[in-house]
Structure formats: C-alpha cells, structure tokens
Structure 1
Amino acid sequence: MDPPPGFKGEFKNGKVCRLVKSLYGLKQSPRAWFEKFGKVVRRFGYNQSQGDHTLFFKHSSGGKKAILIVYVDDIIMTGDDIEEIRRLKQLLAQEFEVKDLGDLKYFLGMEFARSKSGIFISQRKYIIDLLGETGMTGCSAAETPIEPNLKLEAAKPENQVDREQYQRLVGKLIYLAHTRPDISFAVNMVSQFMHSPGPEHNEVVLRILRYLKGTPGKGLLFANRGHFQVEVFTDADWVGSVTDRRSTSGYCTFVGGNLVTWRSKKQGVVARSSAEA
C-alpha cells in the first residue's frame, strides 16, 4: 500500500497504516458497513428480524408498521406508516449519503410494476439477458420446462460436460426461481448433478431456457383480495430418484390468495410407501 498524498514522513521501523474506515474492495468492508448500518437503524427504534438479518421493522401506535430491508447499499422501505417512513429517510440522510429513487421499479434483477390490479414482480430483463448470454435468443420455445416422468442419474466421468459452465448456468436458474415457481421442480432436478453433469443434464437445462424463451414475462401478482386466509398445497412423488431411491417433496403457500412461498426438494431419507412420502 502506497503512502497517501499529503503524508509527511516515511514508513519506517515497522509502521503500518491504520484504517479508520473500511474501504471498498476489502474483505471486511461489507461486514463493517452492515454492522454500522444495523447500529444506526436499531438506534432509531427498529427491531432486527431473526429470520432474515437484513430485515428491520418497527411497529407504531395504531397497528401501523414500517419495514426496511438492505442489500449491501441498496435499501427498500415499505409499510403503512407513511410518517415513520418519511422520518426514517430524514434520519438516514443525517448519518449516510443516501438518494431517494422513488417507487420501487428494479431491484437485484427483479422488476416491479404497480397497477390497480396489484403489484406484479417479474425477471423479464434477467431472462432476456440470460438467453442472450447463452446464445438461445433465436431458439424455438418449449411448452413445458421439463419432460414428464423424466429420470436423471449422475454421468460417468468420461461423459461429463464442462462442470463450471454448467454450475454457473444452473446457479442463475436457481436465482430466477425466486419469481418463477413454474421452473422450481426442473431447477431442483438439474441442481442435484452439479458435480457430475452429462449431456442429458445439459439438455434439460437447455429445455428450461427454451421454456423461458416462450414465457419471459411471467411472474407473480400480489393483489388485495380482501382477506388474509392461509392456504398450503403439498405433494410428493414416491421413489422419484433412480440414484438413491428418495422422493421429492413440493409445496406452495398462499396468503390472501397470493403465492408467497414455494419449494421443491429431495427428501432426506428413503420413504417406504407413497403415504410416507
């Protein structure tokens, strides 16, 4: 590290620079920044969520609430306590250099659109960029993300394809599944063979991309349906994996008629019957 401009003297006798503030690019800088940010927000009376440590919330009188979530240096504020949100913006401006970008439209590859019907979330640009990156922009679209009743097993060492490229592509599909529950099962299937991918696994990944080519604008709609009823749907196959004979579970949860959580995951043990699965 070179002496900073204006420094008088020389680095001798084992002297080193002591950083008062962590700089961008250092390994500890994100942790130091989040620790500082968390202390400031908690000082304003906000509680930190134990389920997601980047989420802070505050309940006010009258049942109103303000919610804040942060990712590195991008912050989202929401809630029905408008005065508290306005106050929080002013307090944060006193501690940090912040800029109000208005209503949320784009965040971490996700697009947000508001209308009278509700809030619609999609990753259309993310999908188009992914298709362009993989050279699949001109491919023909597929009607489903995966063929029905498809069984996959690990490829032999001599038949394996480029592992790093496969892992990178499947990782992007995993992130895409945050707004596309329709590809969750297919992505779960291909992600089980990260360390031994073969041509057949690559074909399934390309099939998912072809399905996305025909459905880039699909996403999630959150609408006010006048109730907060919780509904959960679940299902499982039995002995779906030909490799270890384990089953795959799937579930989705609706709150107020809006899909909020979903998952497709291989079970940890072998089920001895379809009822047990």
Structure 2
Amino acid sequence: MEIVRSSKGIVLYQRKHVLDILSETCMVAAKPCSTSMDYNTKLHSTSRSPLPGPAPYRRLLGKLLYLTNSGPYISYVVSHLCQFNSSPTDQHQQATNRILKYLKSSPALGLFFPSQNTTILKGFSNSYWAACLGTIKSVAGWCFFLGSSLIFWKSKK
C-alpha cells in the first residue's frame, strides 16, 4: 500500500502492485480498457471450455482480490470472478484479462481522503434481481461516503 500525503489530503493506492501484476502477466503492452468488465457478457460456471491448469488463474485472482483493499472500482468484478475458482474457463480468463487492461489505464487509481471534508454521511445502494445465472440469486451493493471520501463498500450475492 502506498500512501501520499499533501496539503490537500491523503491518497491510498497500490501502483507498484498493479505494475508488478501487469509485468508478471505480460500485459504491460496491452491496449487499455475504459471499463473493468463487459456488462453485456453473462458469466456462469459452464461458459466455454475449461482452463487446462487453473492454478495461475487462481493466483492472479488472489492478487486482484488484494487490490480491492484500495480499489473499490474492481471489487464487484473480482468477487464475481472468484465464484468460478473451482472450474474456471477461458471466458473467465478473458474477463480477468479485461480487468488487467482496465488497471493499465490508471495504475495509480486509489482512495482520496481530503483534508478539508464535511462530516455528512451519505449512502448508496443498488440491487440486481436474479443476477447470478447459476443460482438465480440477486446481487446487492452499497457504499458509504463521509463527505466526499469513500469509507465503506461491499457487493454481496
């Protein structure tokens, strides 16, 4: 975790970890994406052909899961892909590569806590009825801000 302090506030990010993941997966030269997932593609456990060796996929998801500590912008898609750890397919690998391309577009993206902030608490929530194709369960997500600082986020099936 990298912490940068200035008179404007504090920024938490994991730029070095992102760049290490990109170089480890040979995605440094990949074309960046503007979104972390393709929202038109529905992932499920039987989508396409299974990966021959799931260990590298699982290791990569673990590293991406660690990034969600300072990156709520990938939290939903990483937790969604973690549901397929038992039998990942090439479509899941493709979705994971899209996350890496998204991270390449802004490796130093993180959380900002301004020094001049209000103490107004705001909360937002959203739900997606029957979002999971395998179990027909809904997905809900919420986040809370203290002033303009994100202090809590979660998505849950």
Tell me the TM-score normalised to structure 2 length.
0.94
Paired AA for residue 16 in structure 2? K
Matched position secondary structure for 1:254: strand
Aligned to 1:148: 39
Paired AA for residue 265 in structure 1? K
Counterparts of residues 24-103 of structure 1 (less than 5 Å): none
**Cα distance, 1:214 vs. partner?**
0.7
**Cα distance, 1:226 vs. partner?**
4.1
Q: How far apart, in 1, do the equivalents of 2:54 and 2:139 lie?
A: 24
Residue 121 (structure 1) aligned with residue 40 (structure 2): no
Aligned to 2:49: 159
The superposition leaves residues 87-117 of structure 1 with CA deviations (integer Å, 9 ceiling, x where unpaired) of xxxxxxxxxxxxxxxxxxxxxxx11001111
Paired AA for residue 248 in structure 1? V
**Cα distance, 1:265 vs. partner?**
1.7
Aligned to 1:202: 93
Query: Is the CA contact 2:117–2:148 (under 8 Å) kept in the aligned structure 1?
Result: no
The superposition leaves residues 104-145 of structure 1 with CA deviations (integer Å, 9 ceiling, x where unpaired) of xxxxxx110011110011100100000011111111101100
Matched position secondary structure for 1:159: coil
Residue 176 (structure 1) aligned with residue 67 (structure 2): yes
**Cα distance, 1:163 vs. partner?**
1.5
Q: How far apart, in 2, do the equivalents of 1:241 and 1:135 lie?
A: 31
Paired AA for residue 132 in structure 2? S
Counterparts of residues 124-273 of structure 1 (less than 5 Å): 124-155=15-46, 159-161=49-51, 162-266=53-157
The superposition leaves residues 31-69 of structure 1 with CA deviations (integer Å, 9 ceiling, x where unpaired) of xxxxxxxxxxxxxxxxxxxxxxxxxxxxxxxxxxxxxxx
Paired AA for residue 192 in structure 1? Q
Paired AA for residue 100 in structure 2? L
Please, what is the CA RMSD of the aligned residues? 1.5
**Cα distance, 1:263 vs. partner?**
1.1
Matched position secondary structure for 1:119: strand
Q: How far apart, in 1, do the equivalents of 2:68 and 2:41 lie?
A: 20
Q: How far apart, in 1, do the equivalents of 2:11 and 2:136 lie?
A: 39
Paired AA for residue 76 in structure 2? F
1:130–1:140 distance in 2 versus 1, CA, 3 Å: same
Structure 2: which 5+ residue stretches go unaligned? none
Q: Which runs of 4+ in 1 moved over 4 A?
A: none
Q: How far apart, in 2, do the equivalents of 1:185 and 1:168 lie?
A: 18
**Which 10-residue stretch deviates more, 136-145 or 160-169?**
160-169
The superposition leaves residues 244-269 of structure 1 with CA deviations (integer Å, 9 ceiling, x where unpaired) of 11111111111232101111121xxx
Query: Is the CA contact 1:224–1:256 (under 8 Å) kept in the aligned structure 2?
Result: no
Paired AA for residue 229 in structure 1? I
Structure 1: which 5+ residue stretches go unaligned? 1-109, 267-277
State which structure, 1 or 2, has the greater radius of gyration over its C-alpha atoms: 1
Q: What count of residue pairs does the alignment treat as equivalent?
A: 156
